[in-house]
Structure 1
Amino acid sequence: MIKKHAVLSLLQGCRSLRQLKQLHGFMVVAALANDVIPMSKLVDFLSHPEMGDFSYAQSILQHINFRTTYLYNSIIRGISLSDEPEAALTMYRDMQRLGLSPDNFTFPFVLKAIDKIRHPTFGCCVHARVAKTGYEADVYVCTTLIHMYISCGEIGSARTLFEHAANRNVVTWTTMIAGYVESGRGSEAINLFRDMEVAGMQPNEITVVHALVACGQCRDLETGIWIHDRLLQWDIDPIGSNVVLATALLNMYAQCGSLKTARVLFDRMPQKNEVSWNAMIGVYNQFGQFDEVLRLFENMRTLEFKPDNVTWLSVLGASANKGAMILGQGIHAYLEKTNGCRHITVSTSLMDMYSKTGDAQSALKIFHCMKGRDLLVWTSMIIGLAKHGHGREAVNLFKDMQHDGAAPDHITFIGVLTACSHAGMVEEGQEYFNSMGNIYGIKPTMKHYGCMVDLFSRAGQLAEAERLVKSMPIQPSIMIWGSILTGCEIHGKVDIAERIGRQIIELNHQCSGVFVLLSNIYAGAGRWQGVEQTRKLMWQKGLKKVRGSSSTECRIFHLHNFTAALT
């Protein structure tokens, strides 16, 4: 008996796998290898997801005279939390073949393993076993079942189970609400949150976070304000109590268009973390307030918060849209030193930044260094080259993409058709346009037709451009007619421009640029009467010529010093 107590004490203080194996040897010598309690403690240690050894635990299970549900639960629990959750399902089958009945501890571990591998068929089998053994009434098992169905994409089955659940606690309600949010069904999440209130169930902070995310998805500011008020009624300070809750609240206001309120909440937060900084920076980036993105980024660095990949994506996006190449280059140098460029999303954003700021060679250099290029990477590079006059290089890259086995989508074709237009590659453009439907099954949109009309118009094939417009299965936009007018101006085709002008006038479109273009065409041909008529028509429609504007790189933060600090 003393030996047994000593072993249990040693097992309690065991801190390494090596020590455990020594204890196991001692247990074998001391004839304790078939004692239930010490062997259960031994298997518990071996089933730890970080320090344990599942193979060793399974081997012990095969060589002992007794096997209990507790022992199987320990191993199944550890494996379900590991990188090989499939093995937990094998153990679940084995224990039943031995005649051992799973209990209310077994099912949640098995269902968590199914969550990871997304196996709804196996999940249904486990559910049937749960119902047969009566554990469906167990609130923990039922909640885990609901989560399993949500993870497997069976949101309808999850809701049915939720509605018929005999016992529901705040975790059950939160699981179902979170499931709707994760499925992009924010309105249903909001309705369920309101039902929770009616049912008298007090939500916790996690529930509220998901409900606020749902409000942001639906742009439901009214409900978001109501939830904010309810928090105050529950004596919960959403700004001072929990940084996660505060971040969700400011995100909700921002997503619903109340950017000023979001910023007020952000400034009031006594504690901020990288997530809250990223949330505010990302919101400004989303709303196109790129100067504010860069200001917040500087403040974040000043307060010694470490930027992560999410931060870099927003800041690089702002740099690209501001044309702030110096800042982008500084970030690039920093990422090179910290191995941040290993992440494909960051590399793609860097590539996009160089493309938008006109440095195609630097963008290509990053592109060629990237491994595991996906469709987004190929498309971004093709569009970047096309927009900056490197049409043939963009088309060649598209060919490389096809050889690489990547299937283009509708956005890729916008890029390659734009490239053909800028490079005057009419035949290639027609070939790629026809391949959209014939080879890839992609139905051309207004933008694709616009690219083809622009291609024909630039090349002087205005009759072909007009024929294509008239054959379109959708109503052509004013921009498409404008492309033909641009071609008329380039090639001096006044007669076609006059005919197109009449059609635009019939559309009664309030676009001053088209009328100005038509006026310029008349002026170029010396048709001053046509110029006068066009300007008179603009006056009758109340249209004014839009003044031109220009922008320069904004050095808000003394970028030379700022980027030097980064690197």
Structure 2
Amino acid sequence: MLRIAKFSSFRCWRRFLLVLPSAMGQESSAQQLWLQFFADPSQWWDHRFDKNNPRYPDFKHKETQEALWIDGRSTPPWVNKVLSAMRPGTIQRNVASWTLGIKRCVKEGQNRKALELFQDMQREGVSPDKFAFIAVLKACANLAALEKGKQVHNQVMQSQCESDIFVGSCLVDMYAKCGSIEDAWLVFSSMPTRTVVSWSIMIMAYAKCGQGQKALDLFQEMQQEQMPPDNATFVGVLTACTSIGALEQGRHIHALLIGLDADIFVGNCLVDMYAKCGSIEDACRVFKNMATHTIVTWNAMINGYVKCGLGMKAVEVFRQMKKEDLEPDSVTYMGILNACASALAIEDGKLVHAEIVHRKRCFDLPVANSLIDMYGKCGSIEDAWKVFTKMPHRSVVSWNSMIAACVKCGNGKKAVELFQQMRKEKVEPDNFTFVAVINACASILALIEGRQVHEQVIRSGFSSDIIIGSCLIDMYAKCGSIDDAYDVFKSMPVRNVVSWSTMISGYVKCGHGQKAIKLFQQMQQELVKPDGVTYVAMISACADIGALEEGKRVHAEVTRSGLELDVFVGSSLVDMYAKCGSIKNARTVFGNISRRNVVSWNSMLTGYALHGLGKEALLLFEEMCESGAEVDGSTLACLLSACSHAGLVDQGYYCFESMVPLYGIMATVEHHSCMVDLLGRSGCLNEAEDVINSMCCKPDVSVWMALLSACRINGDVQMAERAAEQILELDPENSSAFVLLSNIYAASRKWDSSTNLQQTRRKQKTRRKQHVIKQPGCSWIEVNNQVHTFVVNDKEHPCIQEIRDELRRLFMAMKSMGYVPNTHLVLHDVEEEVKEISLLYHSEKLAIVFGLISTPPGSPIQVLKNLRICADCHTATKFISKIVGRSIILRDANRFHHFKKGACSCRDYW
């Protein structure tokens, strides 16, 4: 049936109905009637496409507005035949019909089809109107199709639709979602008129692209123009506050929300903003005042508690949510698994895992990845592996999570193997993969594998990634290849505070304190602002080389930056001052730390131990216990060391015996080693050996080395031989044991035994050719911000002749005062005169004399030595301090010696 109607120009219906004859005999008259109306089909619009209202005509004349309906069920076959025979486009679709089709595709998520329809429309000669542009711009935004969006923008300008406020808003939205915030701003700023919608879109654009402050500035400008915000505006502004952690500004925005905070979207944004800005109390308050809670609201609360480090609170919220019969989604499960991971609540995590399996979400890739991460952080590598192996599909995130889990659980070797397997399965690594596997190589000191990973980083195009570069620096430094670390550092196109700090820390770890200081100075010249990690590394560098003046300058910078009260920075300063000989400054800094943890207490105890202040260490330990601070194994090791250096045998023995009953801490090898050292130094060698024999765990090299050192002090050759035998059995290539025993023989004038030991040692070939190399003794001193290093019988220093002359003058003065060189310490069978000369040019004597001739009279001298000071140098330094009337501070491998007026703080006990 065909129905035809005609509309007047005044839009009043003057309707007539014509029923076409259906009988075959009248077919010719029907065809004539059809041709009467379709004499020129190009003058009709075709509305059959995307028609959703049966009252709307199928065809409509472009000029006369005559309308025609076709009833598909009773339309004569010849009508369909005529229509199908027409060339496509003969009866055209108008712009409204095309736009309707584009809109429908966008609504159904078929954005690419929408773009194709837009192109077809233009090919058929139909010019888009503003509604078509709005629809296609939405499709471009959804696809983040920037280039296509720019092409549409050009057409918008040609059609002069750009001034339309709705088209302009859609252009802003399209550019923002495509990541071109500059183009979005250009469109927005050129709009002649702006509505609340356009303002809201631009504010949200800034918020989502990480420019939260610009979003807040724009909101302020909007208020100045007296444009009333709506819910969408506040959602964008709150999102901006969340992105930059602007809690106070968020509270100000909240105060403007009177009457609008009942909106569920605004409420969810408020909860999320407060939670992510660290004010979980405000988030709870908003949450409780909300009339309804969606899954988004609950997820915001769970993730907020996780961000604030309150994992168990997040678990409680999850349980409360389930009581309200609200089904969790993937975001919920990922949030609660993160909560279990942060709280190390593996049992709760397993319950969540069971629920995930029950709800058949275990094959949800992000959820499965979160399960691996949770088990890895909780230390259950087996459970993480089970999840990983059961995954039907694995993304690069899955591999990253499993590799990171292995690293976290201390199985770096497995992590490297997983990375290799990942490459075999053709899974392309991303930057997170490389970070994880580089950390794995660092944890197991796998330098060769680390270099191979570095090569893959370069091939994959990640060599300019600043995080990967910092990890490579750290890996090479930990593996002892500091030159490779510096090569990576130099090649980085951009360096941030992390990369600078990592390189400085690498130098410190490899014993290059002076290079660390120079690099820090270069960092400041390049105007890179140090952070707490940088300062900790720098302070450690100063401590290692005894650079007190440089350490004081760093301390001044720390104070100006407001980091002095940071417990880690403060603890490092305590350690630095103690190791640089200024125990008074160490105590002052310690007193300024408002919130001390076990690290800060242990740093101060170690400082007292280094300076032989055992009684002060015991008093500090009492203060520590009274404050309620945690006592750990390191604390007791520090205390035992302090007692050892001060000869407080009874107090040390009481501390050792009290470890389990008073503190619940089992004695480790380290504690036994300290106890052996304590007893051995005091001459109780038999008791020290009894401690070793009564150990519940097997003694290691460090314990026997403590006994061997004590044997050297006390000259007990037989026990030294027993100790050395045990050491060489545990570590046949231990050069220190061989050297110590050889020295003990020589000091006892057992030249034959010393010679035989050396000959026997040379014949040993347990590995390929090994040569025992005694660590060369060296001493260094800081003068005028420069560290000067000396070795025994040094001939390289520029001032060596002047030093030797002054040293010989002091030698004659000391002899006149009763100084007798301790030639027993010369471990070679040579003439006495040769022995005296050998003792005269020890590295610590050279460093002390250089300090005397290079610093103002009366100023203290501070020297560091990498080995234990010998008895002759100890005696000679006492005489020197009396002759020159200056304080001399010397730090050796064991402790500090403060020489003043011919006496030493150690009271000749070290």
Normalising by structure 1, report the TM-score. 0.75
Query: What is the aligned counterpart of 2:530 among 307, 327, 342?
Result: 307
* Residues 1:485 and 2:711 are matched in the alignment: yes
2:443 — aligned with what?
Answer: 217
* Deviations 1:356-390, CA, capped at 9 Å, x for gaps: 12221121122222211211111111111112222
Amino acid of the structure 1 residue aligned with 2:315: T
- Cα gap change, 1:258/1:507 in structure 2, threshold over 3 Å: closer, same or farther? closer
1:52 — aligned with what?
Answer: 250
Q: Report SS of the residue matched to 2:586.
A: helix
Q: Conserved in 1, the CA contact under 8 Å of 2:234 and 2:266? A: no
Q: Conserved in 1, the CA contact under 8 Å of 2:685 and 2:711? A: no
* Residues 1:248 and 2:471 are matched in the alignment: yes
Q: Conserved in 1, the CA contact under 8 Å of 2:477 and 2:510? A: no
* Residues 1:385 and 2:580 are matched in the alignment: no
Per mean C-alpha deviation after superposition, the further-off stretch among 78-87 and 40-49 is: 40-49
Amino acid of the structure 2 residue aligned with 1:276: S
Amino acid of the structure 2 residue aligned with 1:115: V
* Deviations 1:80-101, CA, capped at 9 Å, x for gaps: 4221346657877887x84x65
Amino acid of the structure 1 residue aligned with 2:531: D
Amino acid of the structure 1 residue aligned with 2:435: V
Query: What is the aligned counterpart of 1:550 among 778, 798, 805?
Result: 778
2:315 — aligned with what?
Answer: 121
* Deviations 1:322-366, CA, capped at 9 Å, x for gaps: 122222122223333443422222222121111112221121122
Q: Conserved in 2, the CA contact under 8 Å of 1:17 and 1:52? A: no
Partners of 1:352 and 1:502 in 2: how far apart? 37
Partners of 1:124 and 1:223 in 2: how far apart? 43
Partners of 1:349 and 1:365 in 2: how far apart? 13
1:34 — aligned with what?
Answer: none
- Cα gap change, 1:426/1:326 in structure 2, threshold over 3 Å: closer, same or farther? same
Offset of 1:432 from its aligned partner?
1.0
- Cα gap change, 1:426/1:513 in structure 2, threshold over 3 Å: closer, same or farther? same
Structure 1: gaps of 5 or more residues: 28-36, 490-496, 524-530, 561-567
2:743 — aligned with what?
Answer: 516
Query: What is the aligned counterpart of 1:276 among 499, 523, 547?
Result: 499
Q: Report SS of the residue matched to 1:341.
A: coil
* Deviations 1:489-529, CA, capped at 9 Å, x for gaps: 4xxxxxxx354245346547452313422553x45xxxxxx
1:535 — aligned with what?
Answer: 754
- Cα gap change, 1:365/1:9 in structure 2, threshold over 3 Å: closer, same or farther? same
* Residues 1:366 and 2:589 are matched in the alignment: yes
Query: Hey, which of these two has a bigger chunk of helix by percent?
Result: 1
Offset of 1:301 from its aligned partner?
2.8
Partners of 1:558 and 1:422 in 2: how far apart? 31
Partners of 1:344 and 1:111 in 2: how far apart? 30
Query: Hey, which of these two has a bigger chunk of strand by percent?
Result: 2
Q: Conserved in 2, the CA contact under 8 Å of 1:462 and 1:484? A: yes
Q: Report SS of the residue matched to 2:665.
A: coil
* Residues 1:430 and 2:653 are matched in the alignment: yes
1:446 — aligned with what?
Answer: 669
Q: Conserved in 1, the CA contact under 8 Å of 2:709 and 2:740? A: no
2:303 — aligned with what?
Answer: 112
Q: Report SS of the residue matched to 2:631.
A: coil
Q: Report SS of the residue matched to 1:393.
A: helix
Offset of 1:39 from its aligned partner?
4.0
1:161-200 correspondence runs (5 A): 186=412, 190=416, 193=419, 197=423
Amino acid of the structure 2 residue aligned with 1:330: R
Query: What is the aligned counterpart of 1:500 among 715, 719, 724?
Result: 719
Q: Report SS of the residue matched to 1:512.
A: helix
Amino acid of the structure 2 residue aligned with 1:394: A
C-alpha RMSD of matched pairs (Å): 4.4
**Higher RCO (Cα < 8 Å, 6 or more apart):** 1
1:391-430 correspondence runs (5 A): 391-430=614-653
- Cα gap change, 1:245/1:535 in structure 2, threshold over 3 Å: closer, same or farther? closer
Amino acid of the structure 2 residue aligned with 1:52: G
Q: Conserved in 2, the CA contact under 8 Å of 1:512 and 1:538? A: no
2:836 — aligned with what?
Answer: none
Offset of 1:248 from its aligned partner?
3.0
1:308-347 correspondence runs (5 A): 308-347=531-570
Partners of 2:389 and 2:270 in 1: how far apart? 32
Partners of 1:551 and 1:304 in 2: how far apart? 34
Query: What is the aligned counterpart of 2:279 among 84, 90, 94?
Result: 84
Q: Conserved in 2, the CA contact under 8 Å of 1:466 and 1:484? A: no
Q: Report SS of the residue matched to 2:483.
A: helix
Query: What is the aligned counterpart of 2:431 among 190, 196, 205?
Result: 205
Partners of 1:190 and 1:289 in 2: how far apart? 29
Amino acid of the structure 1 residue aligned with 2:722: Q
Amino acid of the structure 2 residue aligned with 1:414: A
- Cα gap change, 1:134/1:11 in structure 2, threshold over 3 Å: closer, same or farther? closer
Amino acid of the structure 2 residue aligned with 1:503: R
Q: Conserved in 2, the CA contact under 8 Å of 1:111 and 1:144? A: yes
Q: Conserved in 1, the CA contact under 8 Å of 2:200 and 2:236? A: no
Offset of 1:426 from its aligned partner?
2.3
- Cα gap change, 1:366/1:539 in structure 2, threshold over 3 Å: closer, same or farther? same
Q: Report SS of the residue matched to 2:658.
A: helix
Amino acid of the structure 1 residue aligned with 2:496: N
Amino acid of the structure 1 residue aligned with 2:274: I
Normalising by structure 2, report the TM-score. 0.49
Partners of 1:79 and 1:547 in 2: how far apart? 59
Q: Conserved in 2, the CA contact under 8 Å of 1:147 and 1:179? A: no
Q: Report SS of the residue matched to 1:406.
A: coil
1:527 — aligned with what?
Answer: none
Partners of 2:319 and 2:390 in 1: how far apart? 19
- Cα gap change, 1:225/1:126 in structure 2, threshold over 3 Å: closer, same or farther? farther
> Sequence identity of aligned pairs in percent?
26
Partners of 1:547 and 1:72 in 2: how far apart? 68
Partners of 1:185 and 1:16 in 2: how far apart? 50
Please tell me whether Structure 1 or Structure 2 has the larger radius of gyration of its CA atoms.
2
Partners of 1:327 and 1:19 in 2: how far apart? 49
1:31 — aligned with what?
Answer: none
Query: What is the aligned counterpart of 2:509 among 266, 280, 286?
Result: 286
Partners of 2:593 and 2:407 in 1: how far apart? 34
Query: What is the aligned counterpart of 1:354 among 559, 562, 577?
Result: 577
